[in-house]
Structure 1
Amino acid sequence: MKSLYKIVTVVGLSFMATSCFNESKPNYQFFPNMYEAVPYETYSEHGVFANGKEGQLPAEGSIKRGFVPYEIPNTTEGYELAKASLVSPLAADQIDHERGKQLFDVYCAICHGEKGDGKGNLVKREKFLGVPSYKDREITAGSIYHVETYGLNSMGSHANQLTQEERWQVADYVLKLRSEL
């Protein structure tokens, strides 16, 4: 008898829950925009955007939080300026030689060698030729940072792979390697 009451109760509750449904006029919906979203065609013009054509762009001249613009140009004169005047903004207690070594091993040692002698694996396999030893070059922290930022000759830019702080860590480690050669 108890099971009959349970069955009747479940059937009655399910009947009540479904009997009020009307497809032409649905019940109250939570978050209706999720059920009936406004469709936008990809890359299409639409009045919802301020300029009427494409998505919103950041305000002109805005920079992301914590980013410091690097304003020395990618020219020979810019390289010489960076070499002569650019110094590391890292304080002595912020320089981490282990972190610099890790970053150097990941991004630089494949070409420049683990000791900075220009004999990395790609040079040994003759994929790149003419990678100089750090001992043979007149380099400063500023010139290293500039080359990491823009690249030089067949070396590409590492600005997308390394943050500004990481590039300074690598520059400090390169100077340490140069002093050991």
Structure 2
Amino acid sequence: MNKLRILGTTAFVIAASIVITSCKDKRSTGWEYAPNMYEHKAYEYDQPNNNFKDGKTAQVPPAGTIPLGFKRFDYPNTREGYDKASLEVKSILAQTPQHLAEGKALFITFCSPCHGVTGQGDGLVVQHGYPPPPSYSKGQSSRGGAMKDLTDGKIYHTITYGVNAMGSYASQVAPEERWKIVMYVHHLQNL
């Protein structure tokens, strides 16, 4: 009988301690397992950081690296790079009606303020007194040759780096979007 009383008392004490400890704090998550996995211990970009020689958390990316999701364009912003791109760079996208429609939408957003909706160099900016860019179907390129003869590489290079009064659109237009614009510019060259 004594063994039964000890066993009952032990079970009662265990049950009572579970009830008392579980009712203590409703907001408690209980025991923490591997707290370093969910407590933020990372440095903020503007905080000092002793892990680096210069003491800064924000570091310049290593030379030769490219951002995630971008493709390397190994043609420098020079006349030689432009000419080399003309010979070597070809569109990576298939010519589909969907790509052409997306290229048109991108062209209207980014290019038509200067080049005009039809690529004739009569955009809104020109109407406010800025010099007009050449027409894609009738004009002459400032780098020589007719605008209607521009190749994929020349157009892509120009969108990436800009030329004359046109600035670079590399930060506004992703590489795949540039190819869609190139496709639409070829359409405008034939108008």
**TM, length-normalised to structure 2:** 0.66
How big is each residue's C-alpha offset from its partner over 1:16-70, in whole Å with a ceiling of 9 and x where there is no partner? 969xxxxxxxxx999999xxx88x79756442x2436112554554333442200
Residues 152/52 of structure 1: CA separation in 2 closer, same or farther (3 Å cut): closer
> Sequence identity, in percent?
38
Residues 94/142 of structure 1: CA separation in 2 closer, same or farther (3 Å cut): farther
Counterpart-to-counterpart distance in 2, 1:169 and 1:41: 38
The answer to whether the 8 A contact 1:45-1:52 is kept is no
User: What is the Cα deviation at residue 110 of structure 1?
Assistant: 0.5
Find the partner of 1:120 among 120, 123, 135.
123
The one-letter code sitting in structure 2 at the alignment partner of 1:133 is S
What residue number does 2:67 align with? 64
Equivalent residue of 1:115, what SS? coil
The answer to whether the 8 A contact 1:95-1:169 is kept is no
What residue number does 1:80 align with? 83
Find the partner of 1:171 among 166, 179, 182.
182
Q: Does 1:156 align with 2:159?
A: no
Equivalent residue of 2:190, what SS? helix
Residues 84/61 of structure 1: CA separation in 2 closer, same or farther (3 Å cut): closer
Counterpart-to-counterpart distance in 1, 2:80 and 2:183: 23
Q: Does 1:142 align with 2:144?
A: no
**TM, length-normalised to structure 1:** 0.70
Counterpart-to-counterpart distance in 1, 2:67 and 2:83: 28
User: What is the Cα deviation at residue 71 of structure 1?
Assistant: 0.6
User: What is the Cα deviation at residue 144 of structure 1?
Assistant: 0.7
Counterpart-to-counterpart distance in 2, 1:70 and 1:152: 17
RMSD: 3.3
